[in-house]
């Protein structure tokens, strides 16, 4: 009898612990999340580099709850004519998705689009001559598309 009572009490205690643990609210994102997000979505190459470093080490930023998902350049080619626009599109998606989640997208959209264009221009700066001209034209087209439809 004593063993049954002890087993029942242990089971009840474990059930209470499990219920209490599941009822605990999720930890809130760190208070500096807006500042970190802003620092990773500026037009500068240092902002891009900081974002890329964080993207390559997402687990270190898991407490922030960032959305790292991307469809890259949506329905446009990710690497049109061999120009590597994929990461520029990924950072643009990162900004859009996270500012939308924070409810501050409209006040940040123009900067996100400008940062996207700056990223594309940095890609095009790797080329010269007619190749650079072609890349610049595509970059301008992608930028105008996100300004109008993004």
1 catalytically annotated: no
Residue that the structure tokens 């959209």 belong to: 109
The DSSP secondary-structure symbol of 78 reads S
- Catalytically annotated residue among 37, 92, 113, 139: 92
Residues 112, 118, 124, 129, Cα dihedral to 10°:
130
Interior angle at CA 43, CA 80 and CA 116, nearest 5: 25
What's the rounded Cα separation, in Å, for the pair 146 and 84?
17
CB atoms within 10 A of CB 94: 22
Active site residues: 92
């Amino acid at each position: 009898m004593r063993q049954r009572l002890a087993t029942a009490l242990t089971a009840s205690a474990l059930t209470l612990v499990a219920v209490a643990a599941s009822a605990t609210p999720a930890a809130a994102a760190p208070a500096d999340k807006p500042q970190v997000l802003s620092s990773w979505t500026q037009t500068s190459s240092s902002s891009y580099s900081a974002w890329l470093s964080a993207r390559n080490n997402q687990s270190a930023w898991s407490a922030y709850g960032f959305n790292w998902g991307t469809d890259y350049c949506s329905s446009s080619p990710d690497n049109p004519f061999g120009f590597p626009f994929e990461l520029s599109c990924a950072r643009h998606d990162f900004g859009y998705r996270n500012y939308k989640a924070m409810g501050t997208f409209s006040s940040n959209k123009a900067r996100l689009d400008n940062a996207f264009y700056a990223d594309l221009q940095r890609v095009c700066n790797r080329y010269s001559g007619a190749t650079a001209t072609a890349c610049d034209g595509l970059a301008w087209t992608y930028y105008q598309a996100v300004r109008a439809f993004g």
